[in-house]
Amino acid sequence: MQDLRNQPINTPLAEEVVKYNYADKMEEWQYQMSNQVNTLEELKKYINITPGEEKAIEETTARWGTTPYFASLMDPNNSNCPVRKQVVPSIHEQNNLYGIENYLVYKENRSGDEERPDTIARQYRDRIAFTVVNKCGIYCRHCFRKELVVDKSLQLRFDVDEGLEWIREHTELREVLVTGGDPLLLSDEKIDYIICKLREIPHIEMIRFGSRLPIVLPHRITKGLQRVLGRYHKVPIWLNTQCNHANEITEKTAESVWALLTCGVNVGNQAVLLKGINDDKKSFKELHQKLLNIRIRPYYVFYLEPAPGIDHFRTPVEKGAELIRDTIRGHTSGLAQPMYVIATKIGKIPLMPDYYIVEKDEEKYTLQNYRGEITTIPNIHEDETADSPLH
Ligand SMILES: *Cc1c(COP(=O)(O)O)cnc(C)c1O
Ligand code: SF4
């Protein structure tokens, strides 16, 4: 109850949540999941819906909705609210200019030469994505896995044991990224099972979870889950979440991150660059500062992938690099700087700002800082270093 009072609550529903929870002994997160805000009627308790939003909801065949907690972070009177735009379907989802049909099959190399279980997506030699569920705490309108998660046009077989067996056979792997959907929506028992089984495989050196729940359902980080994640083990657990705007961060988020950190789980962020949500200087800088403020380390900012029906969120490719140049590097803590990447079917490709090297000749590099000031460093050639007294 205390937790929710710290939020901008737009609805009396939050109070009901607590009462029901108390009466029923259901965990808060389970209550939140079984009461997703995913009907027009429910949504109207949170926001004053516009005719355009109403039309989009009536016409969509895709999954949409989120937890009551995350819904309460929407601005009831502003349809441009950065939280609201990630939650509420838009009529623009019916347009498709740059999106690739069957995107996930294409992107995750699912139709390639290597035989793999449905749960395994592979782009690299030493690590794979292990897709264990197709449910989420929010059905993000910009989701690049939308064919699996939002539209449900792609059906995968979530056979965890089959996936584990494949991982066991592939001794070149050293890391498994457990993803979905949202893997933290599985029960504590199921998560415990996956972690234990992975840790039994001698070549697996680390486990990474991808979960939006610390942001959209921070209540999920319960004492029970802490027990599952928190035992000391030489195979560490890392977690990357997704937060796209500072308005998604509350006291409750900070507490859930602390709960993860105190049981030894490092928390990073993977944001998506979204037009009209975080592609302005103020939002971009604030997001990254606030993430650090609650102990989340910015890891990636993704250029929007070419999944179908999400073009209305698309920015020019250079945008992310420009925002890092203009608001992060030099302007604020270096720890706040994410790597800007485009995720492609041949892996993630960094697209960082390239203003630093103004000139390069045989003798020196001329470098520029964030203020446009110039300095030089010598241009060292490989063959010279070989003879240098330092080597
Ligand atoms: C993103 C991704 C990874 C992890 O890449 P990192 O650069 O290590 O974060 C691994 N496998 C697949 C299939 C991915 O999409
Ligand atoms: S939480 Fe992740 S997988 Fe789920 S809808 Fe959002 S972006 Fe897609």
Q: What is the pLDDT along the chain (391 residues), one digit of tens a residue?
A: 344 434 443 433 444 444 444 555 789 999 999 999 999 999 999 999 999 999 999 999 999 999 999 999 999 999 999 999 999 999 999 999 999 988 988 888 777 778 899 999 999 999 999 999 999 999 999 999 988 888 888 888 999 999 999 999 999 999 999 999 999 999 999 999 999 999 999 999 999 999 999 999 999 999 999 999 997 899 999 999 999 999 999 999 999 999 999 999 999 999 999 999 999 999 999 999 999 999 999 999 999 999 999 999 999 999 999 999 999 999 999 999 999 999 998 999 999 998 999 999 999 999 999 999 999 999 998 876 556 555 5
Kindly state if the Cβ of 84 falls inside 6 Å of ligand 2: no
- Phi first, then psi, for residue 163 (nearest 5°) are -60, -45
User: From CA 130, how far away is CA 191, in angstroms rounded?
Assistant: 13
- The candidate with the shortest Cα–Cα distance to 125, out of 176, 179, 173, 165, is 173
By CB atoms closer than 10 A (0-12, 13-18, 19+), residue 116 is: middle
Domain limits, the chain: 13-350, 356-391
Among protein residues, the one with the nearest Cα to ligand 2's atom 7 is 143
Nearest CA to ligand 2 atom 3: 181
Distant-in-sequence, close-in-space partners of 278: CB < 8 Å, separation ≥ 6 = 82, 244, 245, 271, 284, 287
DSSP 8-state assignment for residue 303: P
Pick the CATH number of 13-350 from 3.10.420.10, 3.20.20.70, 3.10.350.10, 3.40.190.10: 3.20.20.70
Residue 169 tokens, joined: 């056979």
**Looking at the CA of 137, which ligand is closest?**
2
% helix, strand, coil for the chain, step of 5 = 40, 15, 45
* Sign of the CA dihedral with 250 first, then 252, 255, and 257 last: negative
The dihedral through the CA atoms of 225, 229, 232, 238 has a sign that is negative
Distance CA(302)–CA(284), nearest Å, equals 13
- pTM across the whole model: 0.91
75 DSSP 8-state letter: -
Distance 16 CA to ligand 2 centre (A): 27
Residue pair 226/76 in contact (Cβ under 8 Å)? The answer is no
DSSP 326: I
